[in-house]
Amino acid sequence: MRFSRTPASLAHYGRQVSLLDIVLGFAAPLLAAALRDVYYLTRTDPVDIALYVAVATASTVAAAAYFRIGQVATRFLSRYDVLQTLKAAAAASVLTAAVVFSVARLDAAPRSLPALHFLVLGALLLGSRALGQARVRSRDAGPVDGPSENVVIVGANDLAALYIRMMDCVPSPRPRVLALLDDDHTLHGRSVCGRIVAGGLEATQAMVAEYATHGVVVNRIVIAYVDELSRRRAMGALRGFCESQGVVIEYLISRLGLSGRPAGGSSPEGAPQESLARGPGPGGALTSERVTTDHGPVAWSRRSAYWRARRAVDVVGAGLAMLLFAPAFCLIALVVFVDVGAPVVFWQERVGYLGRRINVHKFRTLRNPVGRAGRVLPDRERLSGVGRFLRASRLDELPQLYDILFGEMTIIGPRPLLPVDLPRGETRRHLVPPGLTGWAQVNGGKLVTAEEKSALDEWYVRNASLRVDLRILRLTALAPFRGDRRRRRSLELALQERAALNAEAPKRPALVAVESGERAPRATNGRDSLISSA
């Protein structure tokens, strides 16, 4: 079940069950019984009918609260909301049948009643929402007169449909989508959100000319293809014609701000903007990555077999740990619920493998940021004794076993940082998946500076091995008892290696890619290293 991710202080807001849903939950079993047998309600004991209706109403309320169908804004009803509503109707009918026929044993009730109950309840819940949506849209509908820009979309896909719906929501004057073009012949003559797919790209010139004879001038052609290859093909086919006719041509993902480029950045369409090369996921067979740093391109190589084995160990280890710590999970969740309140687990967005944004989960240790009087509370007032203990013992990190199990993190690796805390130009630490514990955590933790922590993490990226990982696990197990300790030797080694590599960077020749399966060249210090350059 998919829930929306909201900050912990806002998670308790939102209506779970509406009054109309309760009324429909009350009426649905009566209508279902009448449809099954019109005389059933007259010849059955009123106590049995009252019991059945009471159970059905209570089941509807419970199912609506669990699936959160009362939180949906009627005007923004989506396919997901329809599915959740049908799930709630099915759950309510099953729960009603389980209670009525197993506990109360209403032998006189027809056995087809649960199926009718589901159909009637689902129809009532969806019908009420559809009527509400129609009412809101008819109320908000306004005039569409006035000058507008005429647009033709290339590519009949979900993004094009979304763009058309967005244009329909904008008050007049607004861009007017005339038609769509797509090389998929099965779509020709069909309609997307009320706009016809007029043909393939070869029909562009004829369609624009035909619109012109009717006094309609096409001002803009928008390419809605998502993949780069299709976009380039469409641009190549249309560029000459659009330049000759003075028609503006652009990419829809750029127009909507979905191209993934940072705000304020500018580059030709299609030029690579990512500083990290995309490759297989954390468990893939990636052996080399290209990173753009302040010192120029650097080729990083890592042994693929070791990291594939690490991913298998992560899955098995995280699964076993979740089973082993299940009682601790329940106990901590109960204590956090009593001390801090719901929800007991919160998430933070951090930077993970290859620079991707991930959600990292933890047990809550801070109370809501706003007090009862509306005053914003500082962290020292929000942190309770229980929260202080969970942080000191690292038990607040236990929910990250879930992130490890699903591939967002690994057991051992650099800790994921908040986007605002990531040093500018820092990319080396992202060549391995972020970890639950790491070399920086066992060599100082909170006692090291940001620069020292970055140097330690980079050292681990270059020197990760089974021996190093076993040492990290041993020191992590001792950390709750010993506390954080600065290990001078590890810090000095990491800082020295980082300084040496930074000094070498401007002197290195051009990058030579390390192909999959090749062994990385030896570094200048004579040690096998995970960093290589030609």
pLDDT by residue for the chain (534 residues), tens digit each? 344 455 555 454 445 688 899 999 999 999 988 887 766 666 677 887 888 899 999 999 999 988 888 877 777 777 888 999 999 999 999 998 888 877 766 666 677 888 999 999 999 999 998 888 877 766 655 554 555 788 999 999 999 999 988 887 777 677 888 899 999 989 998 888 888 998 999 888 888 888 887 778 899 999 999 888 888 889 988 988 898 888 999 999 888 887 654 433 333 343 333 333 333 333 333 333 343 333 333 333 345 677 778 888 999 999 999 999 899 999 999 999 888 887 888 888 888 888 888 889 999 888 877 766 767 778 778 888 888 888 888 888 999 999 999 888 999 999 998 887 777 766 778 888 899 999 988 888 888 888 888 888 889 888 888 889 999 999 888 887 887 888 888 888 888 888 887 777 655 443 333 333 333 333 333 333 333 322
Q: Do 375 and 293 lie in a common domain?
A: yes
Instruction: Please indicate, yes or no, whether residues 304 and 349 belong to a single structural domain of this protein.
Output: yes
386 and 243 part of one domain = no
Q: Are 352 and 430 in contact (CB under 8 A)?
A: yes
Nearest to 134 by CA among 74, 73, 194: 74
Task: Assess if residue 36 is contained within a domain.
Answer: yes
Specify the long-range contacts of residues 80-84, CB closer than 8 Å, at least 24 apart: 80/2, 81/129, 82/126
Spatial distance between the Cα atoms of 416 and 435, rounded to a whole number of angstroms: 7
Query: Most distant CA pair in the chain: distance in Å?
Result: 96
pTM, entire model: 0.49
Q: What domain range includes position 105?
A: 8-140
Query: Are residues 381 and 471 located together in one domain of the fold?
Result: yes
If DSSP codes are grouped into helix, strand and coil, which group holds residue 199? strand
Same domain, 42 and 187: no
Q: At residue 338, what are phi and psi to the nearest 5 degrees?
A: -70, -40
How far is 218 from 207, CA to CA, in rounded Å? 9
Q: Are residues 210 and 135 in the same domain?
A: no
Distance, CA of 402 to CA of 415 (rounded, Å): 16
Q: What is the CA radius of gyration of the chain?
A: 31
Q: How far apart are CA 484 and CA 487, in angstroms?
A: 9
The answer to whether residues 118 and 59 belong to one domain is: yes
Cα 352 from Cα 414, distance rounded (Å): 9
Q: Answer whether 231's CB lies under 8 Å from 270's CB.
A: yes
**Final residue in a domain of this structure, among 140, 162, 197:** 140
Find all residues with CB under 8 Å of 169, minimum gap 6, and list them: none
Residues 395 and 514 in one domain: yes
Nearest by Cα to 341 from 94, 57, 7, 12? 12
Cα separation, 170 vs 91, in Å, equals: 38
Q: What is the distance, to the nearest Å, from the Cα of residue 408 to the centroid of all Cα atoms in its chain?
A: 11
195: left (phi over 0), alpha (psi -120 to 50) or beta: beta
Say if residue 293 is in the same domain as residue 223.
Answer: no
Looking at the fold, whether 303 and 324 belong to one and the same domain comes out as yes
Q: Which two tokens stand for residue 303?
A: 């042994």
Q: What residues contact 245, with CB distance under 8 A and at least 6 apart? A: 208
Angle between helices 79-99 and 113-140 (to 10 degrees): 150
Q: Show which of 105, 140, 175 is a domain's final residue.
A: 140
Q: Is the residue at 267 inside a domain?
A: no
Task: Give, for 97, the enclosing helix (H) or strand (E).
Answer: helix 79-99
What's the total number of domains in the chain? 3
Same domain, 431 and 510: yes
Cβ proximity of 458 and 436 under 8 Å: no
Residue 524 lies in a domain: yes
Last residue of a domain, one of 140, 174, 200: 140
